[in-house]
Amino acid sequence: MFIFMLLLFVLASSYIFIGGWRVLPPMLSIRIIYTTLFVFLTFGYLLAFMFRGSLPLWFTNFVGVVGPTWMIAILYLFMAVVLIDLLRLANHWWRFFPSWVTANYAKTKLITFFSVIGLISLIFSWGYYKFTHPTINRIEVRVDKPAMGDKKELRIVLASDFHLGNVIGKRRLAKFVELINAQNPDIILISGDIVDGDIRPVIAKNMDEELRKLEAPLGIYAVLGNHEYIGEYARGKIDATIDYIQKSGIQVLKDETLDVGDNLTIVGRDDRTNRNRKELHELTDSLNKQRTIILLDHQPYHLEEAEECEVDFMFAGHTHKGQIWPISCFVTRMYEVAQGYKQKGNTHIYVSAGLGLWGPPFRIGTESELLVATVIFN
């Protein structure tokens, strides 16, 4: 699958390169600059990913932002070039281009080239704004369970997919923390992908200093996501990642259950990347079902299992709802719930699009979100 996707990427990039080459003035210096820049953008991220263990952090940080951005640019450039070529082909047969277009074809191509670049830049600017201005979604969940002492309601802030690393650094994390604390949560729950795979930039940037500022009287709890398991630095070293997160004041539940307060139990399921993780019923069969049970599971598969195991509320992330249009159109068809709320029997389910994101710092057709859930006890 990786080789197939890489081949598609190279073919699409080559198609775009040829389209741009046809537009440029026939000046050697311009074409050398164009070729050098195009090759670096196309293959730099791939090489940095393959040899990230031996490259300096400043370079991987730089390429970690530029590379994924270029990958999305390739997607939109490819769609634009295909559309332009289809119009040119149609005009060959039906001659519908006005005379001012065909009279100076070289100038028209250059104007089209810069118009496409400008339009994509505007789309990226809007996407960056959507990423940096998360939506706060609020839901009420009513459960037929005893209250937590004097508390008739429980205010939970639920976040997922921080993806701390090269793209999302300490400054962005500080804004995440500020936003979460501003909701005055009783408890904070994080559904995986706190780290974006490589723990090195997280340690180097002392991001634990910001994570320690999270505040909730009943505590902060998290599970692992697939990105904690990704990469050379996570593979075989997942315990080091867990230790770092826990030293930051966040308790990681890895196939564990935890009683919090009088009548609340949190079930933290390990990510399905770990093929040896426990089945959900193994974690819930022995639980006191008179307590409110909240399940954290990073990837939202087999939602019916939460209902069968009498979970009151399940929270997941992972999907990002596709993050980028038109990828979002495919992702919404891959999952029973790609983003949002659903009730199955007495089980309430919410899948978050994530507070952070993977790869390019853009939300195009989707949104970054933080969930505030008010659990109302009967």
233 CB-contact burial (10 Å; exposed 0-12 / middle 13-18 / buried 19+): middle
Residue 181 CA to residue 191 CA, distance in Å, equals 17
pLDDT band at 282 (very low <50, low <70, confident <90, very high): very high
pLDDT over 80 (residue 52): no
pLDDT at 125 over 60: yes
Q: What is the mean pLDDT of the chain?
A: 87
Residue 292 pairs with which residues in a beta bridge? 264
Dihedral angle, C-alpha 241, 247, 249, 253, nearest 10 °? 40
The pLDDT of 139-167, averaged and rounded, is: 90
Q: Are 313 and 287 a contacting pair, CB within 8 Å?
A: no
pLDDT at 239: 84
User: pLDDT value at position 278?
Assistant: 93
Cα torsion 295, 167, 137, 332: sign: negative
* CA diameter of the chain: 80
For domain 133-377, say whether CATH 3.20.20.210 is its number: no
- pLDDT confidence band for 57 (50 / 70 / 90): low
The reported pLDDT for the residue numbered 54 is 64
pLDDT in tens, 211-246: 999 999 999 999 999 988 876 555 567 888 899 999
pLDDT in tens, 302-340: 999 999 999 999 999 999 999 999 888 999 999 999 999
Range in 46-50, 165-169, 281-285 the model is least confident about: 46-50
User: Cα–Cα distance between 250 and 252 in angstroms, integer?
Assistant: 6
Q: How many residues does the chain have?
A: 378
> Which of 22-31, 104-113, 181-190 is predicted least confidently?
104-113
pLDDT bucket at 16, cuts 50 / 70 / 90: confident
Give residue 233's pLDDT. Answer: 53
Please tell me the predicted confidence (pLDDT) of residue 136. Answer: 96
pLDDT by residue (tens digit) across 29-46? 888 888 888 888 877 767
Spans of all domains in the chain: 2-129, 133-377
| Helices 57-94, 2-23: crossing angle, 10 deg rounding | 60
Q: Which of 13-22, 175-184, 186-195, 280-289 has the weakest average pLDDT?
A: 13-22
User: 167: Cβ–Cβ under 8 A, 6 or more apart, which residues?
Assistant: 64, 65, 68, 196, 357, 358, 359, 360, 361
pLDDT for residue 55: 66
User: Burial level of 217, CB count in 10 A (0-12/13-18/19+)?
Assistant: exposed
pTM equals: 0.84
Residue 234 confidence (pLDDT): 54
Spatial contact of 283 and 269, defined as CB atoms under 8 Å apart:
yes
Alpha-carbon gap, residue 89 to 175, rounded angstroms? 49
CA distances from 136 to 56, 357, 368 (A): 37, 16, 9
pLDDT band at residue 210 under the 50/70/90 scheme: very high
Given this model, what pLDDT does residue 1 score?
63
- What are residue 326's phi and psi, to 5 degrees? -95, 10
Task: Show the tokens assigned to 72.
Answer: 């999305």
Structure tokens at 254: 């890895």
Sign of CA dihedral 141, 249, 274, 269: negative
Angle between helix 105-132 and helix 2-23 axes, rounded to 10 deg? 140
Amino acid at 375: V
CA 36 to chain centre: 30
